């Protein structure tokens, strides 16, 4: 795993892009297969989706980095108790909650908007289900993510996209 950590450390934004381009797209494909739906679009559309996932990975890397500073300032200014930064589990939960509450909805709408542009469609039907994942999936998942060393956080976040794709796909199948 040392090679992976070195690669991430030496290629911060590129590694975020690549991991999300590959794993985010894989999660989307598995979600479609799990729901037993027909995968729409051709190779060019899927390449565009992979590029969007990659850009989202970079934005997520910026958010993960920025919210660590945001948490620190909130504690310094007395808006949150110091234990939210000093205790490993509370720090991970605080980072996860702040990131998902403040950045998560923006990311969801940006992702849906880019999907709409790629597919030539409109609307935000079902976005409420996507937004609900922030509470029941992403906050707990990123609590685990933020408890890991920094070099492994983006990789795990990208892997969570695969897990959520599977969960959502099988949920759609049953529904």
Alpha carbons 32 and 131: distance in angstroms, whole number: 19
Give CA–CA dist 166/32, Å, rounded. Answer: 8
Where would I find the H helices in 11-152?
12-34, 43-76, 83-86, 88-102, 104-119, 127-133, 139-145
**15 CB-side CA count, 13 A:** 19
87: left (phi over 0), alpha (psi -120 to 50) or beta: beta
Query: Nearest-CA neighbor of 138 among 161, 120, 122, 155?
Result: 161
Predicted model pTM: 0.94
**Phi and psi at residue 124, in whole multiples of 5°?**
-130, 35
Each residue's pLDDT, cut to its tens digit, for the chain (175 residues) gives: 899 999 999 999 999 999 999 999 999 998 888 777 776 778 899 999 999 999 999 999 999 999 999 999 999 999 999 999 999 999 999 999 999 999 999 999 999 999 999 999 999 999 999 999 999 999 999 999 999 999 999 999 999 999 999 998 887 766 5
Q: Distance (Å, rounded) from C-alpha 102 to C-alpha 138?
A: 13
């Amino acid at each position: 795993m040392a090679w992976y950590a070195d690669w991430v450390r030496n290629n911060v934004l590129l590694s975020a892009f690549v991991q999300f381009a590959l794993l985010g797209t894989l999660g989307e494909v598995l979600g479609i297969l799990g729901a037993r739906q027909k995968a729409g679009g051709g190779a060019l559309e899927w390449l565009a989706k992979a590029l969007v996932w990659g850009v989202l990975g970079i934005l997520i890397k910026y958010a993960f980095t920025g919210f660590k500073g945001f948490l620190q300032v909130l504690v310094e200014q007395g808006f949150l108790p110091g234990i939210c930064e000093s205790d490993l589990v509370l720090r991970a939960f605080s980072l996860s909650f702040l990131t998902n509450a403040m950045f998560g909805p923006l990311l969801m709408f940006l992702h849906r908007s880019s999907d709409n542009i790629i597919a030539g469609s409109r609307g935000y039907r079902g976005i409420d289900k996507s937004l609900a994942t922030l509470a029941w999936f992403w906050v707990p998942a990123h609590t685990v993510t933020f408890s890991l060393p920094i070099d492994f956080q983006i990789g795990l976040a990208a892997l969570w996209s695969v897990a959520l794709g599977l969960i959502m796909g099988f949920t759609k199948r049953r529904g």
